[in-house]
Amino acid sequence: MDTNTAIFERRTVHAFNSKKVDEKLIYNAINAANQAPCHRLTFPWRFYSIGIRKRNEILKLAIDIKSSKKSLDENSKKILKDKFLNPSHLLISSQILNKDELIKKEDYAACACAIQNLAISLASSGVQIKWSSGEIIRSKRIYNILNIDSTLEEIIGFIWVGYGKILPEIKRPLIKEIYKQI
């Protein structure tokens, strides 16, 4: 699939089936992510592929976090279980921290570009992702589970990878609404 088609067909998917994505596609997508532009050549992005044992630990953490706010019934727990265990892959994306606030902001933009490259690469092979953040990525426990030093790296998201059950239709704004010639 050509690049423009992949960009136009890329969708955020919220529910995945359990079909496995070929590891070569994951590797190629990480390689594409690594080609992202970045200011000052800092290359601040890091990606971790999370195995099933760690995914189960993260699932327990997610249940604990959700349960601390409201009681979870069995159906809610099943939804969380499907979310964490159904997608073929769970990647964690992090950013190497820089003490300079401007560079840190530029580095976050570079990480977003890397994740978009990853998404487009996978979309070109019919694979979807969901980039997700939320309270769980700020939990001290997630850093412990993943053995990531939070003084050196900041988790910026979970990237669920797989084949979507339902591909959403998106109504985008008209170009004349987002693009002006001055």
The model's pLDDT over 136-170, given as tens digits with 9 standing for 90+, comes to 999 999 999 999 999 999 999 999 999 988 777 88
Task: Look at residue 11 in the predicted model and tell me its pLDDT.
Answer: 87
Spans of the chain below 70 pLDDT: none
For residue 46, how many C-alpha atoms fall within 13 Å in the half-sphere facing its CB?
14
Task: Look at residue 168 in the predicted model and tell me its pLDDT.
Answer: 78
Distance (Å, rounded) from C-alpha 46 to C-alpha 94?
5
Q: Which domains does the chain have, with CATH numbers?
A: 3-178 (3.40.109.10)
Residues 59 and 141: beta-carbon distance below 8 Å: no
Task: Look at residue 166 in the predicted model and tell me its pLDDT.
Answer: 78
pTM of the model: 0.93
Task: Look at residue 170 in the predicted model and tell me its pLDDT.
Answer: 84
DSSP conformation letters of 11-77: -B-S-B-SPPPPHHHHHHHHHHHTT---GGG---EEEEEPPHHHHHHHHHHHHHHHHTTS---HHHH
Residues 113 and 37: beta-carbon distance below 8 Å: yes
Give which of 150, 73, 159 is closest to 112, Cα–Cα: 159
Look up residue 9 and give its two tokens: 């067909």
Task: Look at residue 74 in the predicted model and tell me its pLDDT.
Answer: 93
